[in-house]
Structure 1
Amino acid sequence: MKLFTRQNRILTTILSKYNFSTAPKSVSSIQIKGQNFICDDYTNVTPKMISYLGRNLHLQKNNPLSIVRQRIVNYFYSSFTKRGHPAFSVYDNLSPIVTTKQNFDDLLIPTDHPSRAKSDCYYINRGTLLRAHMTAHQSELLRSGLDNFLMIGDVYRRDEIDSTHFPVFHQVDAVRSQRKEELFIGKPDLEIFEPSYDQENAHAYVNSIDDPMKQSCHTLEAAKLMEGQLKSHLIGLTKVLFGDDIKCRWVDAYFPFTHPSWELEIYYENNWLEVLGCGIVRNEILVNAGPSRNTIAYAFGLGLERLAMALYKIPDIRLMWSTDSGFVTQFENVDLNEDITYKPVSSYPQCTNDMSFWLPSHLTIDTFMSNDFYDLVRDVGGDIIEQVKLKDKFVHPKSKKHSLCYSIVYRHLERTLTQAEVNQVHKEIEKAVVDAYNVVIR
């Protein structure tokens, strides 16, 4: 069968090239999108992840992600104009391969921040990775002289496996900048910056974020006016997407690259659901973008999958990748603002197999990286992996050996899987785990 021929080929590639807990042992470089990259001790990107590059679901006309993307773009095009033209420019085909400087350093993310961990990101090597957020492009676009822009694309994060999590998802990030004369129209006596802030020596200024209401460089008037605009614009977007009656609330948050920061939640199916994060851009980022950038800016980021799943009642995030006509035709040639409710094509049954194994002596239940295991399972099992759960941890009272048990749920989105098929894939995963980690299957 083609399915298992492909999986065997992937399995062979994985076992010959990758050790999931450390660096690749038998390869010195990998090729991604025509570029060669040197491997090192940080390399953990997998063949499966590389295969998703260039799919660009957010640009595929009949995909629900593309519909939501276009509705968001239309909102900003219609809400913000400059001399009769849209004030926001849109960048939706930026390369997902970025440097650690772009993804972390330019955004003031500390070197010890957990978001930099190998367990969270897909690293090509120490200096390069698959972007973990679209904000990775913020500084380069600011440096190019842009003030108002949307960044849209696929992002990559190592995560658990279930119906709402997938290692590839899609984000819209935005920045809106304003100068004094734009922010304080008709009020020339008001200022963006405090008198203590020396614009000529902005790099030397130590910008404090101790005040929960503003950054130390900003005046309270500037910070509060930007906050009001930001929240008003995003509430407006939310009502365009979900209707005027949607209940919303703001929650204080923390992001390294904005201050103050907030998350917006909507009341959805009897629960509060977070739909975006936002805040006032840290002034250091704007200063680093250029000496003449005496502006204040807000930024926000939202996930297209979360919005699409809520708007169209899509139960499984994997469906975004489906090419099945029963799924695709539900979003074909529809009006962008049409009220669509996804209708299941068919409900195929799950198959669940458990996997228990003893860890080698150098690993414990606390040091074993579950995200490494999830990547391996996904690479071998492909898209028939619906969920992986850590079911049990055990330490033998006498031998002190550590054991883990994972429950793996298999389900095909387009046909019924037989238990025999699932058992074959499960054995391939067991073999891959043994070879990668030197575990002993129980």
Structure 2
Amino acid sequence: MSPLVSPYKNFDELSFPADHPGRAVTDSYYANRDMMLRTHTSAHEVEMFRRGETRWLLTADVYRRDEIDASHYPVFHQVEGARIFDASPSGMKQVEEDNARVSNILAKSNIVIEDIPHISPTNPVQHNHDPVFSELVAKNLKLSLNNLLLKVFGGVAGISKQEPLRVRWIEAYFPFTSPSFEVEVFFQGKWLEILGCGVIRQATLDTAGVENKIGWAFGLGLERIAMVLFGIPDIRLFWSTDPRFVSQFEQGKITTFQPYSKYPSCFKDVSFWLPQNSEIHENDFCDIVRDTAGDLVEDVKRIDHFVHPKTNRTSLCYRINYRSMDRSLSNEEINHVQSQVASQLVERFEVEIR
């Protein structure tokens, strides 16, 4: 499926409100007014349901404008999964039987689940859903994903009979599901957010032309889970072709990443005055840095924000940490890159370099 979709497909088909921040040009990549790079795999939910599939998994690259640090990258990968049932007595019986089957599996497994009520005033059942059926579907979602997490994390070193897999469910909000949840796993001494999910908005199924159905959907980021399981410290490494990185991994095996080198950082600051009555979004600044320096940048932090008391002009200062994953960087090389960053700031935002 093409990564280029319409904003209607990416947002409106999924009940995103008109003022949702994800629609902003500072958060998403627009090719033009009518087309954008998908920000999530949910953009294809309606398309998948129209095919008549009752359960499916979809994996794709997604794109977001974001800050620069070790865990954020403008492109990453998501898995979207969904399952729907007939909204009928026979469909309800199918859900009940499946719930009993998976409950039996989990009862015999080394997993501890911290759950929350399926029905909550702040995380409501949809008005056009039977509350009893919706609760059964939410339970089916939880059981299915608890089983998935058991498969993914249950065999990892450090989780044993003395230390079972711990899973925690938290209420959440997503425009395209209700009730909605986030799921966390306790791994290596801390709770890690793994995925978001919920009972599918009936409006989504209606838009797809799917009648008399009820179901659930979830989405998770692959890089985030891989970083946890393999101990990979920097998301940029996923795009490396360095044999020292690639050769460490085999299909179907989870092994801990062994750092092959830690090259020194090269810090550079850029300070500038903004034009009167103007602003620069941090994601815009990060995009200039990415466009100019590519993967040579490890992180970007704003270290100063100053408003002159007499002129009322605003000054910003950002610290850019340049560090290659594969080689040492020379000061001369980075001075040249830093100069290009400053030139792009002047050209695109008419700032005054200090």
Report the TM-score, using the length of structure 1 for normalisation: 0.70
Q: In the TM superposition, what is the alpha-carbon distance from 1:217 to its structure 2 partner?
A: 1.5
Cα deviation digits, residues 319-375 of structure 1 (max 9, x gap): 0000000000111xx251x23000012111111101100111131xxx321111110
RMSD between superposed Cα atoms in Å: 1.6
In structure 2, the residue matched to 1:100 is: 7
Partner residue in 1 for 2:179? 260
2:190 to 271, 274, 289: 271
Structure 2 residue matching 1:247: 3-state secondary structure: strand
Residue 112 to residue 415, structure 1, CA distance change in 2 (3 Å): same
SS in 2 for 1:124: coil
Structure 1 residues 385 and 211: alpha-carbon distance in aligned structure 2, compared to 1, 3 A threshold: closer
Q: Cα offset for 1:220?
A: 2.0
How far did 1:120 drift? 0.6
SS at match of 1:275: strand
Shift of 1:186: 10
Structure 1 residue 154 and structure 2 residue 154: aligned?
Answer: no
2:310 to 398, 404, 423: 398
Letter of the 1:432 counterpart: Q
Does the Cα contact within 8 Å between 2:42 and 2:80 map onto a contact in 1? yes
Name the residue aligned to 1:88.
none
1:193-342 pair list within 5 angstroms = 212-243=123-154, 245-290=164-209, 293-331=211-249, 334-336=250-252, 338-342=253-257
Per-residue CA shift, 1:131-151, capped at 9, x if unaligned? 000000000111222221111
Percent identity over the alignment is 46
* Aligned-partner Cα distance in 2 for 1:295–1:124: 35
Q: Following the alignment from structure 2 to structure 1, what is the Cα–Cα distance between the partners of residues 235 and 288?
A: 19
Contact 2:58–2:81 (Cα < 8 Å) also in 1? yes
Deviations 1:224-249 (A, max 9, x none): 11111111111111111111622110
**Could you say which residue in structure 2 is the equivalent of 1:387?**
299
- Alignment match, 2:81: 174
Match runs of 1:39-188 below 5 Å = 94-179=1-86, 180=88, 181-185=90-94
Gaps of 5+ in 1: 1-93, 188-208
Shift of 1:380: 0.5
Amino acid at match of 2:301: K
What 5-or-longer segments of structure 2 have no aligned partner?
97-119
Decide whether aligned partners of structure 1 residues 186 and 438 sit closer, same or farther in structure 2, where only a CA change above 3 A counts: closer
Q: Write the distance in 2 (CA, Å) between the matches of 1:241 and 1:252.
A: 22
Q: Distance in 1 between matches of 2:261 and 2:343?
A: 32
Query: Which string of whole-angstrom CA distances, capped at 9 and with x for unpartnered residues, describes residues 20-70 of structure 1?
Result: xxxxxxxxxxxxxxxxxxxxxxxxxxxxxxxxxxxxxxxxxxxxxxxxxxx
Aligned partner of 1:36 in structure 2 is: none
Q: Say whether residues 1:418 and 2:330 are aligned partners.
A: yes
Q: CA deviation at 1:212?
A: 3.3
Shift of 1:158: 0.6
TM-score using structure 2 length: 0.87
Secondary structure of the structure 2 residue equivalent to 1:285: helix
Report how far residue 114 of structure 1 moved: 1.1
Say whether the 8 Å CA contact 2:123–2:173 is kept in structure 1.
no
Equivalent pairs, count: 321
Give the Cα–Cα distance (whole angstroms) in 1 for the partners of residues 242 and 334 of structure 2: 21
